[in-house]
Chain A
Amino acid sequence: MGDTKELETARTLEAIASEKYKYGFVTDIEAESVPPGLSEDVIRLISAKKGEPDWLLEWRLKAYRHWLTMTEPTWAFIHYPPIDYQQIVYYSAPKKKGDGPKSLEEVDPQLLETYAKLGIPLNEQKALAGVAVDAVFDSVSVATTFRETLAKEGIVFCSFSEAVKTHPELVRKYLGSVVPYSDNYFATLNSAVFSDGSFCYIPKGIRCPMELSTYFRINAAQTGQFERTLIVADEGATVSYLEGCTAPMRDENQLHAAVVELVAMDNATIKYSTIQNWYPGDEEGKGGIYNFVTKRGKCAGHHSHISWTQVETGSAITWKYPSCILLGDHSVGEFYSVAMVNHFQQADTGTKMIHIGKDTSSTIVSKGISAGRGQNSYRGQVKILPGADHARNFTQCDSLLIGDKCGAHTFPYIEVKNPTAHMEHEATTSKVGEDQLFYLNQRGIDDENALSMIVNGFCKQVFRELPMEFAVEATKLLSISLEGSVG
């Protein structure tokens, strides 16, 4: 290609570099926060504020004591300055008026405005979109819709703290059953200080009539957010859960260490979709969210099915490995991921598929896109234990490089202890082909649209796993992130 092309490329790369985060704004709400720092007293305070039973406080303290013995993991392919855990505010809730809102009218109008800016279909759009939103503003959920429709089916969908009060037996039974309090550094920290999150229980034989959705938002400055999500699908139940994230612009890094646990019983299906679009930091790599998330699903029953789909475009650092434990015979685990890094973003993400039951199968499709000076790593593990007869795995991880200063890495681990297992792993790395661009240019499609088409084609396998409204948003997000970055 000629010099003009290169010039154009340089110019368009500049354009992407100047692309501003479109969801940056701060809502000023008097936050009810505890002082920064972490100690047993802070945990007791959090627990007391939320009026939790003794067993939960004990569980938190156990986690905290264990956390003190642990060290921060260093194996991931990410670099960041050390985190001072004593500088973080571990609890922050929007101030309540009386006993908390009973309907949308009672919700702080400033909050509703924030949601409106984000385009969350909470208000008049809720009926149109058909989405039940359990909106988490910082750490406490303020409004839940479609509760009645769900209640009719016997479905429990509420904030975590509410579930602790209304369904303590379910929470106690399943909390920590997939991600134990001692699991890893960040999950243990979360177990000690988690503020709120979502809880969902689908009873036997029920197919959830709508997509369940939570929009998480980080707001108060220097507040780490530690949600905890627990979804249980009982025998024969089916549920699809959406998680979407945006965060206001901030100069200091914010720590986010969430835990998501999924439990699927016999013949149950859980589909968990995420769009993560947190503030990635500016073009110099300043600021941005540190996203250290532990997500794990347990296919406890036979013929159970857990599917993770994620589109990761935000955060300065992403450290996330949605995993499946395939315990039940004939259970199925799936992982579909698109991870995009730009500027100085770093992502180390992937999955773990642990085959324990017979005839279990898993599929991994991971698409990594690196641009700017971004570093993108796929890290995955497929483990086939001796009892997992006829287990099957298919893994495909592809990387696309845009520009010559970024990096794309793959670190798969495959451990097979059963001869009847069939596993295949494929990975490719390539850049957007000049001939592909040329072909599209020839047909009157400009560079930007051509790139968008190519990248969307590259990600199609993952996007088609997303629920409709998410797929639209994901495509939009990706083309925003890609604006002008023709290589």
Chain B
Amino acid sequence: MTDVIDIQDTYAESFARLSARRGRSGPAWVQALREAGLEHFRRVGFPTLRDEDWRFTNVKPIAQTPFVLPEPPAGKLGADALQPLLIAGLQPAARLVFVDGCYSTELSDTSALPVGVSVQSVAQALDADPATIQSHMGLAAEAESDPFIALNAAFLEDGAFVRFADNTTLKRPIVLLSVATRRAQAAMTHPRNLIVVGRSCEATVIEHYASAGGEVYLTNAVTELVVGDNSTVHHYVLELESEQAFNLQTLKIRQGRDTTVNSHTALLGGAIVRNNVHPIMDGENGHCLLNGLYVPRGRQHMDSFMFVEHARPHCDSRQFYKGILADRAGAVFSGRIKVHPGAQKTDAKQTNQNLLLSGEATVDTKPQLEIYADDVKCTHGATVGELDEQAMYYLQARGISADAARAMLTYAFAAESLERMNVPAIGELVGRELLSRLPRGRLLAHLLESV
């Protein structure tokens, strides 16, 4: 316990150093948000297994590592080093690159954006457009709801600010790429993104986390997504970091009337990953899809924590999370649906399916329903199992090796999730990554490509 408290002191030190470096610049309300965040974190500390929301995820390795804020200058990342991190076949409308948490103007490209869409770093926007940021930031993601959100607020410095003016449709995606470089000390970054979508818009935003030399480090990101009436937003989280990295991300969504939000998550990298998705359907006739795929191996631990709030009538939500676990990996799924009083005609579905490829992998799943209205349709389902023996036999009887058969069936299990992703390049990328982890998977990947 004592060492954890010491570590909390190092966060306070980092905070003090950051404040000194920053001087008295920045709006007062941001400073207040930071101080409230630090204060809350100091009070509650890191969550333990005794906290209901963290029952199956032990964050001790995070609590015991003395992470420091990366001192400027940011790590060097050349354009050639960036190239392999880009998603093949994807043509984004804009790309914001953050190296060790700092916005990189050289690597980013926002030149091709249409009128009505603005993409900049939060630090820039705080100078240029503080009013918009103030009216949204911290409203969806309260520091009190989670110690890591509090920590993020305490170190709120930079991130992406994406804004869609009313009646703007952009089919091509906006990519927010966070890259960690190799540093002398284990670094921590606390990206804070804000996406504000006006009325009657269509937007696609991809959050992509990757490593370029960085191994042990902490990314603690919070994204607030505000969706105006009659808009559609596709949001992606791609976790492709080093398998020693710690990654916590929170997506808080506030949905207006007649909106559609599709949130897709693919978790492949990271040592301990926590993926929070929390949509609040705050207008009638909202639609929300949470589609996720987690593929831990080795000793990776992935925790998907969903909380869907139906605050208004006539909304529907769908949660489809699938997991493929190998080696000694662990996965947690918590899906909570809360139907507020008066949210009649709610239609909420939730399924969590897990495929265990090894005897030492463990799954903890916790699908919950909390319902305070009577005219609702809510269902949840969860399954855990291994590959179907008969299907394996069928394929082997036709001369397909056991490994290849296993790869085919595993890919087929994941395909449903991949096909839901409406940006084909991402589905293909995740599919390739998945297959590269399976024996004989490359052969299958090759076959799939030639089709």
A: residues with CB less than 8 A from B are 75, 384, 386, 399, 401-431, 487
Contact A409 B371 (CB under 8 A): yes
Contact B374 A404 (CB under 8 A): yes
- For the complex, count residues of B whose C-beta is within 8 A of A: 37
Residues of A within 8 A of B361 (CB): 419
B: residues with CB less than 8 A from A are 52, 56, 341-342, 344, 354, 356-386
Q: Which residue of B lies closest to A406 (CB)?
A: B374
Residues of A within 8 A of B342 (CB): 404
- A408-B369 contact, Cβ under 8 Å, with A425-B383, A431-B375: yes
- Measured CA separation A429–B354 after assembly (Å): 23
Contact B381 A423 (CB under 8 A): no
Q: Is the interface of A mostly helix, strand, loop or mixed?
A: strand
Contact B362 A417 (CB under 8 A): yes
Q: Which residue of B lies closest to A400 (CB)?
A: B374
Q: Which residue of A lies closest to B381 (CB)?
A: A426
- A414-B382 contact, Cβ under 8 Å, with A399-B371, A427-B367: yes
Q: How far is the CB of A57 from chain B (nearest CB, A)?
A: 34
Task: List, sorted by A's number, 26 A–B pairs whose CB atoms are closer than 8 Å.
Answer: A401-B371, A401-B373, A401-B376, A403-B374, A406-B374, A407-B372, A409-B370, A410-B367, A413-B366, A414-B367, A415-B56, A415-B364, A416-B384, A419-B359, A419-B385, A419-B386, A424-B381, A424-B382, A427-B378, A428-B377, A429-B369, A429-B377, A429-B378, A429-B379, A430-B377, A430-B378
- Measured CA separation A408–B374 after assembly (Å): 9
- Measured CA separation A413–B364 after assembly (Å): 7
Other than the known A420-B359, A421-B384, what 6 A-B pairs have Cβ atoms closer than 8 Å? Answer: A408-B371, A412-B367, A416-B384, A423-B382, A423-B384, A429-B377
Most-contacted residue by chain B among A414, A418, A419, A424 (CB, 10 A): A419
- Measured CA separation A265–B386 after assembly (Å): 31
Residues of B within 8 A of A409 (CB): 368-371
A404 CB contact (under 8 Å) in B341, B357, B362, B377: B341
- Measured CA separation A431–B346 after assembly (Å): 12
B379 CB contact (under 8 Å) in A75, A402, A421, A428: A428
Q: How far is the CB of B299 from chain A (nearest CB, A)?
A: 15
Contact B368 A412 (CB under 8 A): yes
Residues of A within 8 A of B379 (CB): 426-429
Q: Which residue of B lies closest to A384 (CB)?
A: B384
Contact B363 A416 (CB under 8 A): yes
Q: Which residue of B lies closest to A424 (CB)?
A: B383
- Measured CA separation A427–B360 after assembly (Å): 28
- Measured CA separation A430–B378 after assembly (Å): 7
Q: How far is the CB of A415 from chain B (nearest CB, A)?
A: 5
- Measured CA separation A470–B386 after assembly (Å): 41
A416 CB contact (under 8 Å) in B341, B354, B366, B380: B354
Q: Which residue of B lies closest to A403 (CB)?
A: B374
Contact B356 A416 (CB under 8 A): yes
Q: Which residue of B lies closest to A420 (CB)?
A: B386
Contact B384 A429 (CB under 8 A): no
- Measured CA separation A417–B373 after assembly (Å): 36
B382 CB contact (under 8 Å) in A384, A412, A428: A412
Residues of A within 8 A of B377 (CB): 428-430
Q: How far is the CB of B366 from chain A (nearest CB, A)?
A: 5
Q: Which residue of A lies closest to B370 (CB)?
A: A409
Q: How far is the CB of B418 from chain A (nearest CB, A)?
A: 23
